[in-house]
Amino acid sequence: MQRKNDPGERVAAMLRIRRFEEQCILLSKDGQFPGHYHVYIGQEATAVAACAELGTDDFVFSNWRNHGHLLARGAAPDRMMAEILGKAGGYARGKSGTLHMAVRELGVPATSALVGGSLPLATGAALACKRQGRGVVVAFFGDAALEEGACYEAMILASLWKLPILFVCENNSIPPAQRQRGQYTSSTLPAAQLVDVPQALQIRTEAVDGADADALAECFDRLVAEVRSEGTPRFVEVRCTRWPGNFPLWPELPCGQWQLDWAFGQSPDRADLATWLEQSDPLLLYLRKIVAAGGLTREQVQALDERARAEMAGAVRFALDSPFPAPEEAYQHVRAEQGATL
């Protein structure tokens, strides 16, 4: 887990997620794993800021877009990549794949790939935290979750029972001009503002720009502290603009892997990507800002990137080398063994 407010650690954490996701896309294109998957490119600053506030007693809940949340929480990229490939070396021995990736020992007990599916679970974990007198819950979900009844019902309980949970709605389809103004909901939800909904249930809410790593760090620092000290729920809408590579049905790398030079004068030759980078890429915008402010040198950033790339290349090697589980594995873990220590 990263040290709070250290620019080098923050950059490293974001770079690790981006480089991991790029490898994931390349492996899929290479036919190394079947099925649908979702990447976190363009939202890295959110998971990094939120997880920087968490300790070992805290819980994180996620959804199909979980790679970034898990990496920020401290999961091992090699075991994650092995899981994505359905290999025996994965966290769930290949049973979850990308969709349900979870790491119990890091406080991520289960990942639902159903819209809104994890919100009641996260609320229950917050109830456990309250009973046990330690820990808080951060629940990440997309904007469509607000279309599901489960979401309302979970928020009702969190408010009524006064539970220590931070609902993090990652609204990832907002045009850049509207990120700050917030006049737009991307989902098919007829609410003027997503935050109006939890507010009506007496949950304190705010919205934050998902492309502004500093604003996110300030926001999560404050909100997680409030949840911790007051033991009541909060709701934050993180307004992000979708990365162009996430528009096709299957993720794609527009103009190949992300380049550090794009933060410092160069530009990719695809207009939509260039615009997104300039206006909406939390990683690029933070790098520019921190280098201009003298918090990090370009060389230091370069070194961090090389380290992240090397780490993820290693994760790919580990995953490719890991064997597939034996067929008998399919029959393991249908039920927990009685008497097993919990």
Ligand X SMILES: Cc1ncc(C[n+]2csc(CCOP(=O)(O)OP(=O)(O)O)c2C)c(N)n1
Give the footprint of ligand X on this chain (CB under 6 A): 38, 64-65, 113-115, 142-145, 172
| Spatial separation of the C-alpha atoms in residues 293 and 288, rounded to whole Å | 8
- Measured from the CB atom, the residue of 95 and 309 that comes closer to another protein is 95
Where along the sequence are the contacts to another protein (CB under 8 A)?
33-36, 86-87, 92-100, 112-117, 144-145, 147-150, 187-189, 249, 324-325, 327, 329-331, 334
Partner touching 216 among ligand X, Mg ion, another protein, none, CB below 5 to 8 Å by kind: none
Partner touching 65 among Mg ion, ligand X, another protein, none, CB below 5 to 8 Å by kind: ligand X
Take residue 226 and report the two structure tokens written for it: 């409030």
| Spatial separation of the C-alpha atoms in residues 63 and 80, rounded to whole Å | 15
Give the C-alpha distances (Å, rounded to integers) separating 225 from 76, 141, 153, 215, 220: 27, 20, 25, 15, 8
The answer to whether 72 and 62 are in contact (CB under 8 A) is no
- Measured from the CB atom, the residue of 142 and 210 that comes closer to ligand X is 142
| Spatial separation of the C-alpha atoms in residues 54 and 141, rounded to whole Å | 17
Where along the sequence are the contacts to Mg ion (CB under 5 A)?
142-143, 172
- Measured from the CB atom, the residue of 65 and 234 that comes closer to ligand X is 65
Take residue 208 and report the two structure tokens written for it: 């934050």
| Spatial separation of the C-alpha atoms in residues 306 and 319, rounded to whole Å | 20
Smallest separation (angstroms) from Mg ion to the CB of 238: 11
Smallest separation (angstroms) from another protein to the CB of 91: 12
Smallest separation (angstroms) from ligand X to the CB of 318: 27
- Measured from the CB atom, the residue of 73 and 100 that comes closer to another protein is 100
The answer to whether 39 and 257 are in contact (CB under 8 A) is no
Residue at shortest CB range from ligand X: 142
